Amino acid sequence: MHALSHGTTTAPVTIAVPPSLSLPVIEAAFPRRLHPYWPKCQEKTRAWLLEKRLMPADKVEEYADGLCYTDLMAGYYLGASDEVMQAIADYSAWFFVWDDRHDRDIVHGRPLAWRLLRDRLHSALDSPGEHLHHEDPLVAGFADSVRRLYAFLPQRWGLRFARHFHAVIDAYDQEFHNRTEGIVPTVEEYLRLRRLTFAHWIWTDLLEPAAGCELPDAVRKHPAYRRAALLSQEFAAWYNDLCSLPKEIAGDDVHNLGISLITHEGMTLEQAVVEVRCRVEETITEFLDVEQEALRFADDLADGSVRGKELSAAVRVCLSNMRNWFSSVYWFHHESGRYMVDSWDDRSTPPYVNNEAAGEK
């Protein structure tokens, strides 16, 4: 079907969404919005990628805008200050470049390069100021982006973010092992690992600087709030699996919900696509239910005190942005060149990646 996207241009563009990937409920019930800072954000992130040498200049020129990394974030963290929006967008662009390096290190059999990068990222996460001029641009860029993110909220938030991202790095290491050894995780193993490789709690943590308020544990861990956050992320991760399945099969990947279903549940490719789609649709239905419960929780926080009013407003902003994540992720997958494998010369090799490891030729 064709759907109207209000994405990366000044005028709406008609995007063809394949029937197997079309979700009419998203198009109808989750209207897409973009942060007003988005055009400037795109320009500055492009410049940041060049400044930090995270992508070669020719690839930035040809592919950066079409990959739509800033669009994805600008459709998510609405209400953020321009400074916060820019820091999140740069960090997100770094994350995609890191994901590509991880993939290339696997494809080209570079375990030593990966382990070195893994250890350096763990170090930079805890002391970004000491890694701003690191010889590996990926480490230096990471240090710059997290240092900026740490500045927006109290140290407690930064320590939590770091704890969550240490777990993400370790999960990427597990994925490196699985893919190198050809190990397809079971469905349950994969779902647990996917919550980390997709960085569920990182994107959820970033809702708080976007709202300008650190949420206390009692609020973040409230069942309705936490469930709404998890469902928004599960939708994104599983819809990504649905859309990237052709790319990952072409690249002999083993990390995809569809591949786990085929390998361990005996499904055909067609059955696996239907099952992943059903799981995606269930996250939407359940989110719409729990969203109402979470909004009632936000109302209850407004107890007449100044702090209560502040927390209530912040939770409402966070919930609104969880909702934005559905539409932003959906359109991203149909606009970004990251998933247009049929247009690549080699379906297993993205044209926007740098195949060299740091220091290798």
Catalytic option among 161, 165, 176, 198 = 198
CA distance 361 to 359: 7
| DSSP 8-state class, residue 335 | H
Q: Is 115 a catalytic residue?
A: no
Cα angle value 119/121/123 (rounded, 5°): 75
Catalytic option among 30, 46, 95, 316 = 95
Q: Is 198 a catalytic residue?
A: yes
Buried b vs exposed e over 35-47: b needs ≥16 C-beta within 10 Å? Answer: bebbeebbebbbe
CA distance 34 to 104: 32
Q: Is 287 a catalytic residue?
A: no
* Contact present, 45 and 86 (Cβ < 8 Å): yes
* Contact present, 17 and 334 (Cβ < 8 Å): yes
The burial class, CB within 10 Å (0-12 / 13-18 / 19+), for 9 is exposed
* Contact present, 102 and 58 (Cβ < 8 Å): no
Catalytic option among 46, 120, 323, 338 = 338
* Contact present, 344 and 352 (Cβ < 8 Å): no
| DSSP 8-state class, residue 303 | -
**Both structure tokens of 343:** 């247009």
Count the alpha carbons within 13 Å of 190 in the hemisphere toward its beta carbon: 23
Catalytic option among 33, 53, 96, 227 = 96
CA distance 9 to 16: 16
Tell me the catalytic residues: 95-96, 198, 338
